[in-house]
Amino acid sequence: MNEVISMYNSGMYQREIAEKFGVSQGMISIRLRKAGIKLRSRGESDKIVWSRKTPSQRYATYEAAHAAARNRKHSHTEKCQRAIFNQNNPKLSELEQKFLYAFQSENIPVISQFALDIYNIDFALPNRKIAIEIDGGNWHNSSKKRKYDTGKEVLLRRRKWALIRFQVCNRLKIVADIPTYDFVDVINAVCSNPSLLS
């Protein structure tokens, strides 16, 4: 039992200890609890193991994880969960931050990175079914991004959402779709009368 406790305190997972002694993981958990040991969460165990790895070992772990992910098809459920995670933990570009600030300063209640099925909409007014997409930079021209954007547009149309797309150059000047209006005025107008969008 002293060896089991020592191994566990050194950062080994319960599963690894169980395999070493040829018993079930549940048996190790029961013994550790009876010995008065507070069991760690998986995250806490990972931190201990990770802190003991050398930089080259960490790199090898990253590479193995990336290689496995690269060749794996993600299920629809996983993609939906990722979209919800992105909504709850939004990472906005500098351009999107500027738009968000403008929306907030005009009291327009947008939700950034709104999850809709497997997609994230840059900004959404879900109760009005209005999606707002901000296109800035050349990465929107990549074939992968174009395919993603097309899929998103098809889903929005199918679910009867209105889509407002802003294409913005590096000087924050709107260069397409709505060239002569301030975007805040456009959003306010559409919110007051959605039929204006057409």
Task: Say which CATH number the domain at 93 has.
Answer: 3.40.960.10
Q: Name residue 88's amino acid.
A: N
85 and 66 fall within a common domain: no
14 pLDDT higher than 60: yes
Task: Taking residues 59-70, report their average pLDDT.
Answer: 84
Cα 123 to Cα 23, 26, 104, 187, distances in angstroms: 52, 47, 12, 11
Q: How is the beta sheet containing 174-176 ordered, strand by strand?
A: 111-116, 119-125, 130-136, 162-168, 174-176
197 pLDDT higher than 80: no
154 pLDDT higher than 90: yes
b/e sequence 11-30, b meaning 16+ C-beta within 10 Å:
bbbbeebbeeeeeeeeebbe
**Structural domains counted in the chain:** 2
What percentage of the chain has pLDDT greater than the value 70?
A: 82
What percentage of the chain has pLDDT greater than the value 90?
A: 35
What mean pLDDT, rounded, does the chain reach?
Answer: 83
36-61 pLDDT, tens digit per residue, is 998 988 788 778 878 888 899 888 98
Decide which of 36, 70, 104 is a domain's last residue. Answer: 70
Residue 72: per-residue pLDDT: 78
Q: Which of 71, 72, 132, 73 is nearest to 100 (CA)?
A: 132
8 and 65 fall within a common domain: yes
Contact (Cβ atoms closer than 8 angstroms) between residue 119 and residue 152: yes
Distance of alpha carbon 190 from alpha carbon 196, whole angstroms:
6
Task: Taking residues 128-136, report their average pLDDT.
Answer: 86
99 and 139 fall within a common domain: yes
82 and 150 fall within a common domain: yes
Domain encompassing residue 33: 2-70
45 and 127 fall within a common domain: no
Residue 126: per-residue pLDDT: 92
Decide which of 70, 87, 117 is a domain's last residue. Answer: 70
153 and 104 fall within a common domain: yes
Decide which of 70, 88, 118 is a domain's last residue. Answer: 70
Q: Quick check: helix, strand or coil at residue 168?
A: strand
192 and 100 fall within a common domain: yes
